[in-house]
A and B are shown apart, each in its own frame.
Chain A
Amino acid sequence: MDMRDSLMLSNLTLDNFDKSFKGSNSLVEERKNAFLNLKKIGIPNKRIENWKYMDLAKITKGIEFKPRGINFELLNKNLKGIVVRDFEYFIENKDQYSKLTKYLDNEGVVYLNLSYAQEASVIEIKESQSEPLLINISCNEDGVSFPRIKIDVFPNIEAEVHLFYDGGKGFINQLTEINIQKNSNLRVQRVNKSSAIHSETFLSYLGLNSNISLVNLSMPKNKSRFQVYNIFLDQHSCTDFKSVSIPYEDCQDDFLIQNLHMSSNCESNVGLRAILNKGTVCSFQALVDIDLNTSSSKAIQDCKAILLHEDASMNAKPEMKIFNDDVVCKHGTTIGCLDKEQLFYLQSRGLSPVSAEKILLQGVIKNYISEDSSLNNFLPKVYQ
């Protein structure tokens, strides 16, 4: 660990921090272990992480590493079958948990959160929900903050969760863990309009015959990293992760989406649609990892980026680690400007260059965020 890393860490460990390790509940135990690990590997940086694009160690330089409060808010009140409580291990089988650490061994960003998140909220969804759960997260002081949420979806449940991040300062290092028990189906909408440096690690554990689909509208006003690990704990489960990325000028939006097929008969689907303005950078690193003993897997990756400015860039890195022959995998990437033939077609019918461009960009987004999706309201007016 280099000098600066240890400084940051000692800064964090000082005062309150050491005290917060006292006691012996499961959260404190987990934090202690995570902290030992973090000490070994250091503040997240390109050198040690699977991550190839955004070097958090570098960009958080200058931010005071002083933990501060987070506003976590479940906006709906008194929903039937919803319990919000403090953290305890919710995965009964610890072996399953350790299975996943294999993938996170060198992810400093996770250990950073695990060490420092002093509170963690658990939302239990025990009954199917007719309305979406609305969750807001914001941090309005400088410094670093470590939001941590766990969502536990009980068996045979249908539910929807909307996550909303807006504004904020400093560095937000978020950990979201979602456990979907057998025969359940969770839909997630995520809106990211964070103006802090935002990194979110999103872990989902899928039980037998379960399903998670996420539509993510990411419009960061700073640097944002969204890393997802979908872990298929049992058979016949599906993940579908669709992101629309429209970073603000000169901002960065990075995605690392890993689907870890460790059970047979599972299906994963990952897609990105990026619209990149002046000075923006977007990266899309998607991994499909199919275990030796896992058969009948299906995995699709698909990325499309439109560069609206010569000073915009897109890194696409599809990865497939396939150790079993019985798979169907597809991946496709297109990066480019708006299609001239399409623009001409629209203009030749009387649409101005501006509205032709607008209609094409709307077209890029529409397949992910339709007009009747509630996410449509969060899109910039021109794309609605």
Chain B
Amino acid sequence: MNNFLNIQSLSAKVEDKLIINNLNLNVDKGEVHAIMGPNGSGKSTLSNVLAGKDGYEITSGIINFCGEDLMSLKPNERSNRGIFLAFQYPVEIPGVTNINFIKTALDSNRKHRGLDPLKPGDFLKLIKEKSKILGIPEDRLKRQLNVGFSGGEKKRNEALQLLMLDPSLAILDETDSGLDVDAFKIVADSINSRRNNDSSMLIITHYQRLLERIEPDFVHVFINGSIIESGGPELASEIESNGYERFTDVK
């Protein structure tokens, strides 16, 4: 057992339906884990449970993050401790300016680390630099958060927040879905460039092509709310060619 992210025998229900079923997963510092699984298997539910969303009944198990019981923390406290979820479906928030929101989020996380808010000039420099990497035009920063953004633009905006907040554990829920060919490469490479010994990633995806750009240390096959097989990148290739049939048969 490591002392970074440690999930043991986790089960969770939504409206009396068991979605996460006795799940075990260990993620160590600096590791990249990929989770692949059919639609409706519970991957987003797992991300939401990790990020602290309401509405799930945890029926058993523990989640430990950096030695703390994650369940006892509110979503913002989890964020402050370095957990970041890039949403599969980012919500639109009218009346809230994208750039102001990112500044507020960054300052809140910095405050937790005992840092002063970033000076406006420095912040602007940073966000311009990251937007440029992701090919996000400046006027999109001034728009209302995700409002009217296309599917791909929303995903890019999640990637921007990821680069800006620089979390120690990034959970990416299908961040690659919805991106065009060029955007896919840009976003995947920028995510990959974040790899270092101090931060880990949990990447949920349906496509092996993402894992060709971000080579995972582990690939997990996620069926009916639990991991039924783990392996290396070769597992992703197998799923790409044969689908989930073999795994569902095992079940």
Contacts and interface: CB of A to CB of B under 8 A. Distances in A.
Interface of A: 339-342, 344-353, 355-356, 359-360, 362-367
A359 B94 contact: no
A349 B80 CA distance: 8
Contact of B76 (A352, A360, A366): A352
Given A344-B54, A359-B104, A350 B91 contact: no
A353 B74 contact: yes
B200 to A, nearest CB: 17
19 contacts: A341-B91, A344-B51, A345-B93, A347-B52, A347-B79, A348-B51, A348-B53, A348-B76, A348-B79, A349-B79, A350-B165, A351-B105, A351-B108, A353-B76, A355-B104, A360-B93, A360-B96, A364-B95, A366-B95
Contacts of B74: 347, 352-353
Contact of A359 (B52, B75, B91, B101): B101
Contact of B93 (A340, A350, A363, A365): A363
Nearest to A273: B95
B205 interface: no
Contacts of B96: 359-360, 362-363, 366
B75 A344 contact: yes
B59 to A, nearest CB: 21
Nearest to A345: B91
Interface of B: 51-55, 74-76, 78-80, 84-85, 87, 90-91, 93-96, 101, 104-105, 108-109, 112, 144, 161, 165
A158 to B, nearest CB: 28
Given A340-B54, A353-B76, A359-B104, A348 B85 contact: yes
Contacts of A349: 76, 79, 84, 101, 105, 108, 161, 165
A355 B74 CA distance: 14
Contacts of A352: 74, 76, 108
Contacts of B87: 345
A350 B79 CA distance: 5
Contact of B75 (A342, A348, A360): A348
Contacts of B51: 344, 348
B90 A345 contact: yes
Contacts of A348: 51-53, 75-76, 78-79, 84-85
Contacts of A362: 95-96
Contacts, number: 78
Nearest to B146: A345
Contacts of B80: 350
A363 B101 CA distance: 11
Output the residue of B75, B85, B91, B101 with the most chain A CB within 10 A: B75
B79 A363 contact: no
Given A359-B101, A359-B104, A350 B94 contact: no
A339 B146 CA distance: 15
A350 B109 contact: yes
A342 B93 contact: yes
Output the residue of A350, A359, A363 with the most chain B CB within 10 A: A350
Contacts of B78: 348
A343 to B, nearest CB: 9
Nearest to B51: A348
A364 B144 CA distance: 12
Contact of A342 (B84, B85, B91, B104): B91
A262 B120 CA distance: 52
Contacts of B54: 340, 344
A98 B55 CA distance: 60
A67 to B, nearest CB: 44
B90 A367 contact: no
Given A347-B76, A362-B96, 11 more contacts: A340-B55, A342-B93, A347-B52, A348-B75, A349-B79, A349-B84, A349-B165, A353-B76, A355-B104, A356-B76, A366-B95
A336 B53 CA distance: 20
A383 to B, nearest CB: 11
A351 B104 contact: yes
A362 B165 CA distance: 23
Contacts of B93: 342, 345-346, 360, 363
A353 B80 CA distance: 13
Contacts of A367: 94-95
A30 to B, nearest CB: 45
A339 B91 contact: yes
A350 B165 CA distance: 10
Output the residue of A340, A351, A355 with the most chain B CB within 10 A: A351
B77 to A, nearest CB: 9
Contacts of B75: 344, 347-348
A325 to B, nearest CB: 32
A303 B74 CA distance: 33
A234 B57 CA distance: 62
B52 to A, nearest CB: 7
B109 A363 contact: no
A350 B95 contact: no
A359 B165 CA distance: 19
A49 B150 CA distance: 48
A149 to B, nearest CB: 33
Output the residue of A340, A342, A345 with the most chain B CB within 10 A: A345
B52 A350 contact: no
Rank and list the top 3 A-B pairs by shortest CB-CB distance, nearest first.
Answer: A363-B95, A349-B105, A350-B79
Nearest to A365: B95
A221 B18 CA distance: 49
Nearest to A340: B54
Nearest to A362: B95
B139 to A, nearest CB: 17
